[in-house]
Structure 1
Amino acid sequence: MKSISAALAAHLAGEVTTLATCWRLERTDGWARGFTDHDRNLVIDGQTYVAATGFLPSAIKSGADLSVDNLDVDGFLDDDALKAEDLSAGLFDGAKIDIFLVNWADLSQGRVLLRRGSLGEVKRADNRFSAEIRGIANRLQQVAGKLYSRLCRTNLGSVECKVMLAPLTDELVISAVSSGDTFTVPTARPTGFYTFGVCSFLTGANAGAATEVLQHNGQSIQLFTPMPRPIAVGDRVHLIAGCDKTPETCHARFGNILNFRGEPHIPGNDMVFSYPVRG
Protein backbone atom coordinates (compact mmCIF):
# COMPACT_ATOMS: atom_id res chain seq x y z
CA MET A 1 0.00 0.00 0.00
CA LYS A 2 1.32 3.42 -0.96
CA SER A 3 1.72 6.13 1.65
CA ILE A 4 -0.07 9.35 0.76
CA SER A 5 -1.15 12.45 2.67
CA ALA A 6 -4.83 13.16 3.26
CA ALA A 7 -4.60 16.41 1.31
CA LEU A 8 -3.06 14.73 -1.75
CA ALA A 9 -5.56 11.87 -1.55
CA ALA A 10 -8.41 14.37 -1.58
CA HIS A 11 -6.88 16.10 -4.58
CA LEU A 12 -6.57 12.81 -6.47
CA ALA A 13 -10.23 12.07 -5.75
CA GLY A 14 -11.32 15.39 -7.22
CA GLU A 15 -12.69 15.92 -10.72
CA VAL A 16 -9.79 18.17 -11.76
CA THR A 17 -6.16 17.48 -10.82
CA THR A 18 -2.91 19.38 -11.25
CA LEU A 19 -0.41 16.54 -11.18
CA ALA A 20 3.18 16.30 -12.34
CA THR A 21 5.44 13.26 -12.55
CA CYS A 22 8.93 13.65 -11.14
CA TRP A 23 11.92 11.37 -11.10
CA ARG A 24 15.07 11.61 -9.02
CA LEU A 25 18.24 9.97 -10.29
CA GLU A 26 21.22 9.27 -8.03
CA ARG A 27 24.42 7.73 -9.36
CA THR A 28 26.73 5.52 -7.33
CA ASP A 29 29.26 8.38 -7.11
CA GLY A 30 26.75 10.61 -5.28
CA TRP A 31 25.70 12.74 -8.28
CA ALA A 32 21.95 13.41 -8.03
CA ARG A 33 19.50 15.27 -10.25
CA GLY A 34 15.73 15.71 -10.45
CA PHE A 35 13.54 15.87 -13.55
CA THR A 36 9.84 16.45 -14.21
CA ASP A 37 7.33 16.31 -17.06
CA HIS A 38 5.83 19.62 -15.88
CA ASP A 39 6.24 22.72 -18.08
CA ARG A 40 8.40 24.51 -15.50
CA ASN A 41 10.97 23.62 -12.88
CA LEU A 42 9.75 22.44 -9.48
CA VAL A 43 11.62 22.76 -6.18
CA ILE A 44 10.85 19.79 -3.94
CA ASP A 45 12.62 19.23 -0.60
CA GLY A 46 15.29 21.72 -1.59
CA GLN A 47 16.11 20.04 -4.90
CA THR A 48 15.22 21.49 -8.30
CA TYR A 49 13.44 19.16 -10.69
CA VAL A 50 14.15 20.51 -14.16
CA ALA A 51 11.63 20.45 -17.00
CA ALA A 52 14.05 20.93 -19.89
CA THR A 53 14.83 17.26 -20.60
CA GLY A 54 11.61 16.27 -22.37
CA PHE A 55 11.11 13.52 -19.81
CA LEU A 56 8.37 11.06 -20.79
CA PRO A 57 7.68 7.86 -18.81
CA SER A 58 5.86 4.88 -20.27
CA ALA A 59 2.84 3.33 -18.55
CA ILE A 60 3.69 1.76 -15.21
CA LYS A 61 2.54 -1.82 -14.82
CA SER A 62 2.53 -3.69 -11.51
CA GLY A 63 1.13 -7.06 -10.53
CA ALA A 64 0.65 -9.23 -7.47
CA ASP A 65 2.30 -12.26 -9.12
CA LEU A 66 5.87 -10.99 -8.54
CA SER A 67 6.35 -10.41 -12.26
CA VAL A 68 9.03 -7.90 -13.21
CA ASP A 69 7.86 -4.29 -13.43
CA ASN A 70 7.63 -2.83 -16.91
CA LEU A 71 8.73 0.78 -17.25
CA ASP A 72 10.85 2.80 -19.67
CA VAL A 73 11.80 6.44 -19.51
CA ASP A 74 12.48 8.52 -22.63
CA GLY A 75 14.03 11.96 -22.76
CA PHE A 76 16.44 14.34 -24.42
CA LEU A 77 20.14 14.42 -23.63
CA ASP A 78 21.12 17.70 -22.00
CA ASP A 79 24.70 18.94 -21.65
CA ASP A 80 23.97 20.30 -18.16
CA ALA A 81 22.22 17.22 -16.81
CA LEU A 82 22.41 14.05 -18.92
CA LYS A 83 25.49 13.88 -21.12
CA ALA A 84 25.90 11.27 -23.83
CA GLU A 85 29.56 10.80 -22.86
CA ASP A 86 28.61 10.02 -19.25
CA LEU A 87 26.12 7.39 -20.40
CA SER A 88 28.75 5.78 -22.63
CA ALA A 89 31.29 5.85 -19.81
CA GLY A 90 28.95 3.83 -17.58
CA LEU A 91 28.58 6.53 -14.94
CA PHE A 92 24.84 5.87 -14.79
CA ASP A 93 25.11 2.09 -14.47
CA GLY A 94 23.08 0.90 -11.48
CA ALA A 95 21.92 4.41 -10.59
CA LYS A 96 19.00 4.58 -8.15
CA ILE A 97 15.77 6.13 -9.35
CA ASP A 98 12.55 7.26 -7.64
CA ILE A 99 9.46 8.15 -9.66
CA PHE A 100 6.61 9.95 -7.90
CA LEU A 101 3.58 12.21 -8.37
CA VAL A 102 3.10 15.67 -6.87
CA ASN A 103 0.46 18.35 -7.05
CA TRP A 104 2.43 21.11 -8.76
CA ALA A 105 -0.14 23.70 -7.62
CA ASP A 106 0.46 22.80 -3.95
CA LEU A 107 3.74 20.96 -3.31
CA SER A 108 3.09 20.99 0.44
CA GLN A 109 0.65 18.09 -0.08
CA GLY A 110 3.63 15.75 -0.41
CA ARG A 111 4.16 13.01 -2.95
CA VAL A 112 2.97 9.53 -3.87
CA LEU A 113 5.76 7.13 -4.82
CA LEU A 114 5.06 5.27 -8.06
CA ARG A 115 8.23 3.25 -8.48
CA ARG A 116 11.62 2.77 -6.88
CA GLY A 117 14.36 0.86 -8.59
CA SER A 118 17.59 1.15 -10.53
CA LEU A 119 18.61 2.12 -14.02
CA GLY A 120 18.99 -0.80 -16.40
CA GLU A 121 19.73 -0.81 -20.12
CA VAL A 122 20.16 2.63 -21.68
CA LYS A 123 19.85 3.23 -25.42
CA ARG A 124 20.82 6.38 -27.32
CA ALA A 125 19.72 7.69 -30.70
CA ASP A 126 20.75 11.16 -31.86
CA ASN A 127 20.00 13.48 -28.93
CA ARG A 128 17.48 11.19 -27.23
CA PHE A 129 17.83 8.39 -24.73
CA SER A 130 15.65 5.52 -23.56
CA ALA A 131 16.30 4.00 -20.14
CA GLU A 132 14.92 0.81 -18.63
CA ILE A 133 13.80 1.04 -15.01
CA ARG A 134 14.28 -2.19 -13.08
CA GLY A 135 12.17 -2.61 -9.97
CA ILE A 136 12.93 -4.71 -6.92
CA ALA A 137 11.19 -7.74 -8.48
CA ASN A 138 13.89 -7.78 -11.17
CA ARG A 139 16.21 -9.42 -8.66
CA LEU A 140 14.05 -12.55 -8.86
CA GLN A 141 15.30 -13.04 -12.42
CA GLN A 142 18.97 -12.94 -11.43
CA VAL A 143 20.88 -16.20 -11.37
CA ALA A 144 21.64 -17.35 -7.83
CA GLY A 145 24.30 -19.85 -6.90
CA LYS A 146 27.54 -20.87 -8.59
CA LEU A 147 28.46 -23.13 -11.48
CA TYR A 148 31.63 -25.18 -11.62
CA SER A 149 34.15 -24.12 -14.22
CA ARG A 150 37.76 -24.65 -15.18
CA LEU A 151 38.32 -20.90 -14.82
CA CYS A 152 38.13 -19.05 -11.52
CA ARG A 153 34.69 -17.66 -10.69
CA THR A 154 35.81 -14.72 -8.57
CA ASN A 155 37.54 -11.44 -9.37
CA LEU A 156 41.10 -10.57 -8.52
CA GLY A 157 41.25 -8.90 -5.12
CA SER A 158 37.78 -10.00 -3.99
CA VAL A 159 37.02 -11.41 -0.55
CA GLU A 160 37.18 -14.97 -1.90
CA CYS A 161 40.36 -14.33 -3.90
CA LYS A 162 42.19 -12.68 -0.96
CA VAL A 163 44.96 -11.22 -3.17
CA MET A 164 45.95 -7.75 -1.95
CA LEU A 165 45.56 -5.24 -4.77
CA ALA A 166 47.68 -2.44 -3.31
CA PRO A 167 51.03 -3.88 -4.48
CA LEU A 168 49.44 -4.61 -7.88
CA THR A 169 48.10 -1.10 -8.45
CA ASP A 170 49.87 1.84 -10.07
CA GLU A 171 48.99 5.49 -10.61
CA LEU A 172 50.62 6.68 -13.82
CA VAL A 173 50.60 9.65 -16.18
CA ILE A 174 49.84 9.11 -19.87
CA SER A 175 52.90 10.07 -21.94
CA ALA A 176 51.54 9.44 -25.46
CA VAL A 177 48.19 8.72 -27.11
CA SER A 178 47.80 6.51 -30.19
CA SER A 179 44.01 6.38 -30.49
CA GLY A 180 40.81 6.55 -28.50
CA ASP A 181 41.60 3.20 -26.84
CA THR A 182 45.41 3.03 -26.85
CA PHE A 183 47.97 5.07 -24.93
CA THR A 184 51.43 4.84 -23.41
CA VAL A 185 52.44 5.04 -19.75
CA PRO A 186 55.92 4.90 -18.14
CA THR A 187 55.59 1.53 -16.44
CA ALA A 188 58.24 -1.06 -15.64
CA ARG A 189 55.68 -3.82 -15.19
CA PRO A 190 56.21 -6.86 -17.46
CA THR A 191 54.15 -7.27 -20.62
CA GLY A 192 50.71 -8.68 -19.85
CA PHE A 193 50.67 -7.49 -16.24
CA TYR A 194 47.65 -5.20 -16.77
CA THR A 195 45.90 -7.40 -19.38
CA PHE A 196 42.28 -8.00 -18.25
CA GLY A 197 42.82 -5.52 -15.45
CA VAL A 198 40.99 -2.25 -14.78
CA CYS A 199 41.93 1.24 -15.95
CA SER A 200 40.34 4.20 -14.15
CA PHE A 201 40.85 7.80 -15.22
CA LEU A 202 41.61 10.14 -12.33
CA THR A 203 41.99 13.39 -14.27
CA GLY A 204 41.22 14.76 -17.71
CA ALA A 205 38.06 14.67 -19.80
CA ASN A 206 37.38 11.03 -18.79
CA ALA A 207 37.81 11.55 -15.03
CA GLY A 208 35.62 9.09 -13.11
CA ALA A 209 35.30 6.62 -15.99
CA ALA A 210 36.70 3.09 -15.82
CA THR A 211 37.05 0.22 -18.27
CA GLU A 212 38.91 -3.05 -18.73
CA VAL A 213 42.33 -3.41 -20.29
CA LEU A 214 42.38 -5.54 -23.44
CA GLN A 215 46.13 -5.75 -23.89
CA HIS A 216 49.29 -4.60 -22.14
CA ASN A 217 52.40 -4.70 -24.30
CA GLY A 218 55.51 -3.05 -22.88
CA GLN A 219 54.41 0.49 -22.04
CA SER A 220 51.40 0.40 -24.36
CA ILE A 221 47.91 -0.02 -22.91
CA GLN A 222 44.94 -0.92 -25.13
CA LEU A 223 41.44 -0.72 -23.67
CA PHE A 224 38.50 -2.95 -24.57
CA THR A 225 36.49 0.01 -25.86
CA PRO A 226 37.44 3.58 -26.81
CA MET A 227 36.83 6.16 -24.12
CA PRO A 228 33.79 8.44 -24.62
CA ARG A 229 35.97 11.55 -24.52
CA PRO A 230 39.44 12.18 -25.99
CA ILE A 231 42.40 10.84 -24.03
CA ALA A 232 45.13 13.45 -23.57
CA VAL A 233 48.80 13.42 -22.63
CA GLY A 234 49.07 14.24 -18.94
CA ASP A 235 45.93 12.42 -17.89
CA ARG A 236 46.46 10.40 -14.71
CA VAL A 237 45.22 6.81 -14.72
CA HIS A 238 44.82 4.14 -12.07
CA LEU A 239 45.89 0.72 -13.40
CA ILE A 240 45.17 -2.55 -11.58
CA ALA A 241 46.76 -5.86 -12.55
CA GLY A 242 44.67 -8.31 -14.51
CA CYS A 243 44.05 -12.03 -14.22
CA ASP A 244 42.96 -14.47 -16.93
CA LYS A 245 41.43 -16.68 -14.21
CA THR A 246 43.47 -19.78 -15.08
CA PRO A 247 45.11 -21.91 -12.38
CA GLU A 248 48.48 -21.44 -14.06
CA THR A 249 48.33 -17.66 -13.70
CA CYS A 250 46.95 -17.89 -10.17
CA HIS A 251 49.91 -20.03 -9.12
CA ALA A 252 52.76 -18.47 -11.11
CA ARG A 253 51.90 -14.76 -10.90
CA PHE A 254 50.00 -14.41 -7.64
CA GLY A 255 51.02 -17.50 -5.61
CA ASN A 256 47.37 -17.87 -4.66
CA ILE A 257 46.45 -21.34 -5.89
CA LEU A 258 45.04 -22.32 -2.47
CA ASN A 259 42.30 -19.71 -2.97
CA PHE A 260 41.61 -20.60 -6.61
CA ARG A 261 37.83 -20.72 -7.10
CA GLY A 262 37.57 -23.09 -10.04
CA GLU A 263 37.52 -26.82 -10.79
CA PRO A 264 40.18 -27.37 -13.48
CA HIS A 265 40.41 -31.13 -12.86
CA ILE A 266 36.74 -32.05 -13.34
CA PRO A 267 36.35 -33.94 -16.64
CA GLY A 268 34.53 -32.05 -19.40
CA ASN A 269 32.54 -33.20 -22.42
CA ASP A 270 35.75 -34.00 -24.29
CA MET A 271 36.37 -36.85 -21.85
CA VAL A 272 33.51 -38.80 -23.45
CA PHE A 273 35.46 -39.05 -26.71
CA SER A 274 38.71 -40.12 -25.04
CA TYR A 275 37.48 -43.64 -24.27
CA PRO A 276 37.65 -46.37 -26.96
CA VAL A 277 34.36 -47.40 -28.53
CA ARG A 278 33.55 -51.06 -27.87
CA GLY A 279 31.72 -52.99 -30.53
Structure 2
Amino acid sequence: MSAPDWLQGAVTTMALCWRLERPDGITIGLTAHDRDLAIDGLRYRAAPGMTPSAIRRTDGLDGDSMDASGPLSGEAIREADLLAGRWDGARIQVFAVDWASPKVPLLLGEGTLGAVETGDGGFTAELRGAAAALERPVVEETSPTCRARLGDRRCRVAMAGRRQFARVLAVAGRVVTLDRSEPTADAYGSGVLRWFGGSNAGLETAVAASAGATVTLERIPPMPVEAGTLVELVEGCDERLETCANRFGNAANFRGEPYLPGIDLLTRYPGA
Protein backbone atom coordinates (compact mmCIF):
# COMPACT_ATOMS: atom_id res chain seq x y z
CA MET A 1 0.00 0.00 0.00
CA SER A 2 1.49 3.35 -1.02
CA ALA A 3 1.89 6.17 1.46
CA PRO A 4 -0.70 8.99 1.39
CA ASP A 5 0.15 12.13 -0.57
CA TRP A 6 0.51 14.18 2.62
CA LEU A 7 3.43 11.96 3.71
CA GLN A 8 5.37 12.30 0.46
CA GLY A 9 6.09 16.02 0.46
CA ALA A 10 9.27 17.72 1.60
CA VAL A 11 7.41 19.02 4.66
CA THR A 12 4.79 16.80 6.25
CA THR A 13 1.78 17.84 8.30
CA MET A 14 1.38 14.62 10.27
CA ALA A 15 -0.23 14.26 13.68
CA LEU A 16 -0.63 11.10 15.76
CA CYS A 17 -4.07 10.37 17.20
CA TRP A 18 -5.52 7.92 19.70
CA ARG A 19 -9.19 6.87 19.81
CA LEU A 20 -10.14 5.15 23.07
CA GLU A 21 -13.51 3.51 23.71
CA ARG A 22 -14.28 2.20 27.19
CA PRO A 23 -16.43 -0.90 27.74
CA ASP A 24 -19.21 1.38 29.04
CA GLY A 25 -19.31 3.23 25.70
CA ILE A 26 -17.52 6.45 26.68
CA THR A 27 -15.18 7.41 23.83
CA ILE A 28 -12.45 10.03 23.80
CA GLY A 29 -9.90 11.18 21.24
CA LEU A 30 -6.38 12.45 21.90
CA THR A 31 -3.81 13.85 19.53
CA ALA A 32 -0.13 14.70 19.84
CA HIS A 33 -0.83 17.84 17.79
CA ASP A 34 -0.83 21.22 19.54
CA ARG A 35 -4.44 21.94 18.52
CA ASP A 36 -7.70 20.01 18.77
CA LEU A 37 -8.75 18.09 15.66
CA ALA A 38 -12.23 17.01 14.51
CA ILE A 39 -12.19 13.61 12.78
CA ASP A 40 -15.31 11.62 11.85
CA GLY A 41 -17.47 13.56 14.29
CA LEU A 42 -15.16 13.07 17.29
CA ARG A 43 -13.10 15.85 18.82
CA TYR A 44 -9.49 14.82 19.43
CA ARG A 45 -8.14 16.94 22.24
CA ALA A 46 -4.61 18.25 22.02
CA ALA A 47 -2.29 16.26 24.29
CA PRO A 48 1.22 17.24 23.20
CA GLY A 49 2.70 15.25 26.09
CA MET A 50 1.46 11.95 24.62
CA THR A 51 4.44 10.02 23.28
CA PRO A 52 4.21 6.60 21.60
CA SER A 53 6.93 3.99 21.46
CA ALA A 54 7.93 2.36 18.19
CA ILE A 55 4.99 0.43 16.72
CA ARG A 56 5.95 -3.15 15.88
CA ARG A 57 3.81 -4.87 13.27
CA THR A 58 4.54 -8.28 11.79
CA ASP A 59 3.04 -10.62 9.21
CA GLY A 60 3.47 -13.61 11.54
CA LEU A 61 1.51 -14.76 14.56
CA ASP A 62 3.33 -12.54 17.05
CA GLY A 63 1.06 -9.87 18.52
CA ASP A 64 1.52 -6.28 17.39
CA SER A 65 2.56 -4.08 20.29
CA MET A 66 3.02 -0.46 21.25
CA ASP A 67 3.34 1.55 24.44
CA ALA A 68 2.04 5.08 24.93
CA SER A 69 2.84 7.41 27.78
CA GLY A 70 1.55 10.83 28.73
CA PRO A 71 0.27 13.12 31.47
CA LEU A 72 -2.91 12.39 33.39
CA SER A 73 -5.51 14.97 32.38
CA GLY A 74 -8.57 15.76 34.47
CA GLU A 75 -10.62 16.23 31.29
CA ALA A 76 -9.49 13.08 29.50
CA ILE A 77 -7.88 10.29 31.51
CA ARG A 78 -7.95 10.53 35.28
CA GLU A 79 -5.78 8.50 37.58
CA ALA A 80 -8.79 7.56 39.71
CA ASP A 81 -10.56 6.08 36.67
CA LEU A 82 -7.48 4.06 35.73
CA LEU A 83 -7.12 2.67 39.24
CA ALA A 84 -10.85 1.92 39.43
CA GLY A 85 -10.62 -0.20 36.29
CA ARG A 86 -12.89 1.91 34.09
CA TRP A 87 -10.35 1.68 31.26
CA ASP A 88 -9.71 -2.07 31.56
CA GLY A 89 -10.22 -3.73 28.17
CA ALA A 90 -10.81 -0.42 26.36
CA ARG A 91 -10.63 -0.53 22.56
CA ILE A 92 -7.85 1.60 21.09
CA GLN A 93 -7.03 2.81 17.60
CA VAL A 94 -3.76 4.58 16.82
CA PHE A 95 -3.48 6.41 13.51
CA ALA A 96 -1.68 9.24 11.75
CA VAL A 97 -3.55 12.02 10.02
CA ASP A 98 -2.88 15.17 8.02
CA TRP A 99 -3.65 17.87 10.57
CA ALA A 100 -4.18 20.42 7.78
CA SER A 101 -6.98 18.28 6.31
CA PRO A 102 -7.81 15.41 8.71
CA LYS A 103 -10.02 13.33 6.42
CA VAL A 104 -8.07 10.18 5.48
CA PRO A 105 -6.41 8.68 8.58
CA LEU A 106 -3.60 6.14 8.24
CA LEU A 107 -4.23 3.32 10.71
CA LEU A 108 -1.08 2.29 12.60
CA GLY A 109 -2.46 -0.16 15.11
CA GLU A 110 -5.55 -1.22 17.02
CA GLY A 111 -6.39 -3.53 19.87
CA THR A 112 -7.24 -3.36 23.54
CA LEU A 113 -5.68 -1.66 26.52
CA GLY A 114 -3.24 -3.91 28.34
CA ALA A 115 -1.11 -3.20 31.39
CA VAL A 116 -1.33 0.36 32.75
CA GLU A 117 1.20 1.93 35.11
CA THR A 118 0.76 5.30 36.82
CA GLY A 119 3.20 7.53 38.65
CA ASP A 120 4.73 11.01 38.75
CA GLY A 121 1.57 12.59 37.37
CA GLY A 122 1.55 10.46 34.22
CA PHE A 123 0.77 7.00 32.91
CA THR A 124 2.11 4.34 30.55
CA ALA A 125 -0.32 2.06 28.70
CA GLU A 126 0.25 -1.03 26.58
CA LEU A 127 -1.65 -1.66 23.35
CA ARG A 128 -2.37 -5.35 22.75
CA GLY A 129 -3.16 -6.20 19.13
CA ALA A 130 -5.74 -8.69 17.86
CA ALA A 131 -3.09 -11.41 17.55
CA ALA A 132 -2.68 -11.36 21.35
CA ALA A 133 -5.78 -13.57 21.49
CA LEU A 134 -3.62 -16.39 20.13
CA GLU A 135 -1.75 -16.47 23.44
CA ARG A 136 -4.81 -17.97 25.16
CA PRO A 137 -5.03 -21.76 25.62
CA VAL A 138 -6.67 -23.55 22.70
CA VAL A 139 -8.46 -26.15 24.84
CA GLU A 140 -9.62 -26.16 28.43
CA GLU A 141 -7.68 -27.89 31.19
CA THR A 142 -9.46 -30.42 33.37
CA SER A 143 -10.51 -29.20 36.80
CA PRO A 144 -12.49 -30.58 39.75
CA THR A 145 -14.61 -27.41 39.78
CA CYS A 146 -16.98 -26.13 37.11
CA ARG A 147 -15.47 -24.04 34.33
CA ALA A 148 -18.77 -22.48 33.27
CA ARG A 149 -20.03 -19.17 34.59
CA LEU A 150 -23.32 -19.17 36.44
CA GLY A 151 -26.08 -18.40 33.96
CA ASP A 152 -24.01 -18.58 30.76
CA ARG A 153 -24.90 -20.71 27.71
CA ARG A 154 -23.05 -23.74 29.08
CA CYS A 155 -24.38 -23.51 32.63
CA ARG A 156 -27.99 -22.77 31.50
CA VAL A 157 -29.22 -21.80 34.95
CA ALA A 158 -31.96 -19.19 34.54
CA MET A 159 -30.84 -15.98 36.26
CA ALA A 160 -34.33 -14.51 36.45
CA GLY A 161 -35.05 -13.98 40.12
CA ARG A 162 -31.39 -14.42 41.07
CA ARG A 163 -30.70 -10.68 41.03
CA GLN A 164 -31.97 -8.05 43.40
CA PHE A 165 -31.52 -4.33 43.92
CA ALA A 166 -30.68 -2.91 47.32
CA ARG A 167 -29.41 0.30 48.89
CA VAL A 168 -26.27 0.69 50.92
CA LEU A 169 -26.70 1.48 54.62
CA ALA A 170 -23.04 1.48 55.63
CA VAL A 171 -19.56 0.47 54.43
CA ALA A 172 -16.68 -0.66 56.64
CA GLY A 173 -13.67 -1.63 54.60
CA ARG A 174 -14.77 -4.54 52.40
CA VAL A 175 -18.02 -5.17 54.31
CA VAL A 176 -21.16 -3.54 52.89
CA THR A 177 -24.41 -3.45 54.87
CA LEU A 178 -27.59 -3.34 52.79
CA ASP A 179 -31.27 -2.70 53.41
CA ARG A 180 -32.21 -6.19 52.12
CA SER A 181 -31.22 -9.66 53.22
CA GLU A 182 -30.03 -12.51 51.02
CA PRO A 183 -32.61 -15.13 50.00
CA THR A 184 -30.44 -18.10 51.06
CA ALA A 185 -27.21 -18.52 53.03
CA ASP A 186 -24.19 -17.12 51.15
CA ALA A 187 -26.34 -16.57 48.06
CA TYR A 188 -24.07 -13.82 46.73
CA GLY A 189 -20.72 -15.43 47.59
CA SER A 190 -18.63 -15.66 44.38
CA GLY A 191 -21.19 -13.35 42.78
CA VAL A 192 -21.04 -9.72 41.70
CA LEU A 193 -22.10 -6.38 43.17
CA ARG A 194 -22.81 -3.73 40.53
CA TRP A 195 -22.81 -0.05 41.45
CA PHE A 196 -25.71 1.93 40.00
CA GLY A 197 -25.13 5.18 41.83
CA GLY A 198 -22.50 7.32 43.47
CA SER A 199 -18.88 7.73 42.37
CA ASN A 200 -18.54 3.99 41.63
CA ALA A 201 -21.44 3.97 39.13
CA GLY A 202 -20.73 1.67 36.20
CA LEU A 203 -18.25 -0.52 38.06
CA GLU A 204 -18.72 -3.99 39.48
CA THR A 205 -16.95 -5.71 42.36
CA ALA A 206 -16.62 -9.43 43.05
CA VAL A 207 -18.30 -10.66 46.23
CA ALA A 208 -16.31 -12.99 48.49
CA ALA A 209 -19.17 -13.94 50.83
CA SER A 210 -22.58 -12.82 52.03
CA ALA A 211 -24.42 -13.24 55.32
CA GLY A 212 -27.87 -11.84 55.96
CA ALA A 213 -27.89 -8.18 55.01
CA THR A 214 -24.09 -7.87 54.64
CA VAL A 215 -21.77 -8.75 51.78
CA THR A 216 -17.98 -8.98 51.96
CA LEU A 217 -16.30 -7.77 48.79
CA GLU A 218 -13.09 -9.12 47.30
CA ARG A 219 -11.57 -5.64 47.50
CA ILE A 220 -12.38 -2.25 48.95
CA PRO A 221 -14.54 -0.11 46.61
CA PRO A 222 -12.25 2.13 44.52
CA MET A 223 -14.26 5.28 45.33
CA PRO A 224 -15.98 6.43 48.55
CA VAL A 225 -19.50 5.04 49.01
CA GLU A 226 -22.36 7.13 50.36
CA ALA A 227 -25.32 5.76 52.28
CA GLY A 228 -28.32 5.25 50.02
CA THR A 229 -26.27 4.24 46.95
CA LEU A 230 -28.22 1.87 44.69
CA VAL A 231 -26.52 -1.46 43.91
CA GLU A 232 -27.47 -4.69 42.16
CA LEU A 233 -26.52 -8.06 43.63
CA VAL A 234 -26.06 -11.03 41.29
CA GLU A 235 -26.14 -14.50 42.81
CA GLY A 236 -22.91 -16.52 42.68
CA CYS A 237 -21.74 -20.13 42.69
CA ASP A 238 -18.69 -21.74 44.31
CA GLU A 239 -18.38 -24.06 41.27
CA ARG A 240 -18.58 -27.30 43.28
CA LEU A 241 -20.63 -30.27 42.09
CA GLU A 242 -22.50 -30.43 45.42
CA THR A 243 -23.66 -26.83 45.03
CA CYS A 244 -24.60 -27.35 41.39
CA ALA A 245 -26.73 -30.39 42.23
CA ASN A 246 -28.30 -29.39 45.55
CA ARG A 247 -28.79 -25.63 45.15
CA PHE A 248 -29.39 -25.28 41.42
CA GLY A 249 -30.47 -28.80 40.38
CA ASN A 250 -28.13 -28.48 37.43
CA ALA A 251 -25.67 -31.38 37.76
CA ALA A 252 -26.35 -32.43 34.16
CA ASN A 253 -24.65 -29.24 32.96
CA PHE A 254 -21.71 -29.36 35.39
CA ARG A 255 -18.53 -28.50 33.45
CA GLY A 256 -15.86 -30.11 35.59
CA GLU A 257 -14.28 -33.46 36.46
CA PRO A 258 -14.71 -33.87 40.24
CA TYR A 259 -13.86 -37.57 40.22
CA LEU A 260 -10.84 -37.46 37.91
CA PRO A 261 -7.69 -38.47 39.86
CA GLY A 262 -5.29 -35.58 40.38
CA ILE A 263 -1.51 -35.36 40.56
CA ASP A 264 -1.68 -36.39 44.21
CA LEU A 265 -2.41 -39.94 42.99
CA LEU A 266 1.28 -40.27 42.06
CA THR A 267 2.38 -39.52 45.63
CA ARG A 268 0.21 -42.14 47.29
CA TYR A 269 1.69 -45.36 48.64
CA PRO A 270 0.23 -48.62 49.94
CA GLY A 271 -1.41 -48.19 53.31
CA ALA A 272 -1.62 -44.39 53.07
Residue 30 of structure 1 corresponds to which residue in structure 2? 25
Does residue 86 in structure 1 map to residue 76 in structure 2?
A: no
Q: Which amino acid aligns with 2:160?
A: A
1:22–1:36 CA contact under 8 A, matched in 2: yes
Residue 66 of structure 1 corresponds to which residue in structure 2? 61
Aligned-partner Cα distance in 2 for 1:12–1:67: 28
Give the root-mean-square deviation of aligned CA atoms: 1.7
Does residue 183 in structure 1 map to residue 176 in structure 2?
A: yes
Question: Which one of 249, 252, 257 corresponds to residue 258 of structure 1?
Answer: 252
Question: Which one of 224, 227, 230 corresponds to residue 233 of structure 1?
Answer: 227
Residue 153 of structure 1 corresponds to which residue in structure 2? 147
Aligned-partner Cα distance in 2 for 1:154–1:126: 41
Displacement of 1:82: 1.1
Aligned-partner Cα distance in 2 for 1:51–1:26: 17
Q: Quick check: 54-63 or 78-87, which moved more? A: 78-87
Percent of pairs with identical residues: 41
Residue 206 of structure 1 corresponds to which residue in structure 2? 200
Displacement of 1:100: 0.7
1:89–1:210 CA contact under 8 A, matched in 2: no
Displacement of 1:215: 2.1
Displacement of 1:70: 2.2
With over 3 angstroms needed to count, the CA separation of the structure-2 counterparts of 1:172 and 1:16, relative to structure 1, is: same
Which residues of 2 match residues 242-253 of structure 1 at below 5 A?
242-253=236-247
With over 3 angstroms needed to count, the CA separation of the structure-2 counterparts of 1:115 and 1:81, relative to structure 1, is: same
Aligned-partner Cα distance in 2 for 1:173–1:59: 48
Residue 19 of structure 1 corresponds to which residue in structure 2? 14
2:167–2:230 CA contact under 8 A, matched in 1: yes
Displacement of 1:23: 0.8
SS at match of 1:174: strand
Residue 112 of structure 1 corresponds to which residue in structure 2? 106
Aligned-partner Cα distance in 1 for 2:267–2:116: 45
Aligned-partner Cα distance in 1 for 2:181–2:27: 40
1:53–1:76 CA contact under 8 A, matched in 2: no
Q: Which amino acid aligns with 2:26?
A: W
Q: Which amino acid aligns with 1:162?
A: R
Aligned-partner Cα distance in 1 for 2:95–2:117: 23
Q: Which amino acid aligns with 1:196?
A: S
Displacement of 1:53: 6.9
Gapped regions of structure 2 (runs ≥ 5): none
Displacement of 1:233: 0.5
Residue 167 of structure 2 corresponds to which residue in structure 1? 173
2:145–2:257 CA contact under 8 A, matched in 1: yes
1:35–1:53 CA contact under 8 A, matched in 2: no
TM-score (norm 1): 0.91
Aligned residues: 270
Gapped regions of structure 1 (runs ≥ 5): none
TM-score (norm 2): 0.93
